[in-house]
Every structure is written in C-alpha cells, then in structure tokens.
Structure 1
Amino acid sequence: MTIPPIVFGIVLILHFVGLASLLGGVLVQVKDTIAGKGRIIAAMIHGALTQLVTGILLVAFIEMGGGSINNGKIGTKLAIVLLITVLVFLFRKKAAAPSWVIWVIGAFTLANICIAVLWH
C-alpha cells in the first residue's frame, strides 16, 4: 500500500510544526529557567506529542511504501522523543520545573534534530 504524497507531506509538515512548538516552548522558558522559575508550558506538551505521533506515522508510511528505514537512527530518535514526552508529562503541573528538566528537554530536542539531519 502506498500513501499518497500529499498525505505524507501533510504529516511531515505537522512533524515540523511539533518540532517548532517543542523547541519554541523551551526557548520561551530560558529566561525563567535561568531565574529558577521555568515551567513546562502547553507548547512543549503539544509539541512532544505531535513529534511522537507524526514520527511514528512517517516511519509507518515509509515502511508501507516499501522504503528503507535506518532502524538504529529511528530507534534512537524514538527513545529520545519518549524521554522528552515523559519529562514534559511528569513536570507539567509543577509551578516551576527543576532547571535541569528544561535544559534536558532542549538538549534532547536539539539532539534529535542533529540525528535527523546528520545521521545517514
């Protein structure tokens, strides 16, 4: 079964939107995190979930179309986005998240970008 290119493209765009939401949420919190008052905001929660769901869909679409997947790369990216998702859910209701949480979410997000672009 082949997924229509428009469907694949829409899901890929949503994947990028999730990335922008997650990373944007982290960047918005940097000043407050330095002051010890950083929080997990809705943009980070929605971004993490969007990245997770659309990433799984993209892999499924490629597999269904007979394409080749680098399982090591995808497994690494999945593990990272799962860690991000767990962190945002664990600390979402705290008035202020520990500083390390925001920094780790940001670092893991950047790591996933680097893996996506640089790992061939």
Structure 2
Amino acid sequence: MTVLTNVFVGLHIIGIASLLGGFLTQMKAMGAGTARFVPAMLHGALTMLVTGVLLVGFREMGDGAPLNHVKIGVKLAVLFVILALVYVKRDEEHVEKGLFAAVGGLTVANIFIAVLWH
C-alpha cells in the first residue's frame, strides 16, 4: 500500500506542477491582457482532484492515523473554485487579468495550505 500511496503522491505533485506551470507560462501574456487558461491547467487541476481524493481514501483505509478533515475540506474547496474557473473559461481566447491572477493565487495558497497547515 505504501508504494501505491507514493505513486499517487507523485501524480498529485505532477498535477500541481501542471496547474502552476500553465499559470507561470501565461504570466507575460497576463501582463499584456492576452492570457488564457491552457489545457495543462485544466488537466493538472483534474489530476489533483482525482489523486487527492484517492490519497484521502487510502489514508482512511490504512492504519487509522488521524487525518485533518478540516484541512482536506479547505483544500478541496479551493481546488473546486480553481477547477470551476478554469473549466468555465477554458475556451475563451482571453481571460481577465484579475480572474487569471486569482487562479494563480489560489493555486499557490493551496500549496502553502498543504505544506504549512499541520
């Protein structure tokens, strides 16, 4: 089970890298007002959602170690907002600066929630 959990942790990290990487590649375009949500951002967010839910399930089925459900709920809520924004605006040629920046900020916030909240 440990190997499987580690594989999904790796996939979860790849998902966040895809979401954040897609945002970072569009930052110059955001300054010009021509940024758009690239497919990597949507796929990264979906990867995070699926792997995150599976990781919580693995942890619940495992050794009974306590899980911070409030933290998981906050991270899930933030990810749902990110996913909704990226999904709804994915086909638009240009996304407003504020909306695009919000997705980047929420992505970074989700990373810091994961790392700093114990």
Structure 1 Cα separation of the partners of residues 117 and 106 of structure 2: 15
The residue type equivalent to 2:57 in the other structure is A
Q: TM-score, normalising length from structure 2?
A: 0.97
1:16 matched to 2:13? The reply is: yes
Aligned to 1:61: 58
The residue type equivalent to 2:36 in the other structure is R
Structure 1 Cα separation of the partners of residues 66 and 38 of structure 2: 36
Any idea what the Cα deviations from partners look like across 1:89-119, whole Å, max 9, x if unmatched?
Answer: 0100000011112111110011011111111
1:67 Cα offset (Å): 2.4
Could you tell me which runs of 5 or more consecutive residues in structure 1 were left unpaired when the two chains were aligned: none
Matches within 5 A, 1:69-88: 69-88=67-86
The share of aligned pairs that are identical, in percent, is 48
Aligned to 1:39: 36
Structure 1 Cα separation of the partners of residues 98 and 46 of structure 2: 21
Could you tell me which runs of 5 or more consecutive residues in structure 2 were left unpaired when the two chains were aligned: none
Q: TM-score, normalising length from structure 1?
A: 0.95
Any idea what the Cα deviations from partners look like across 1:36-60, whole Å, max 9, x if unmatched?
Answer: 0000001101000001111111111
Aligned to 1:107: 105
Structure 1 Cα separation of the partners of residues 99 and 7 of structure 2: 31
Aligned to 2:24: 27
| Structure 1 runs, 4 residues or longer, greater than 2 Å off | none
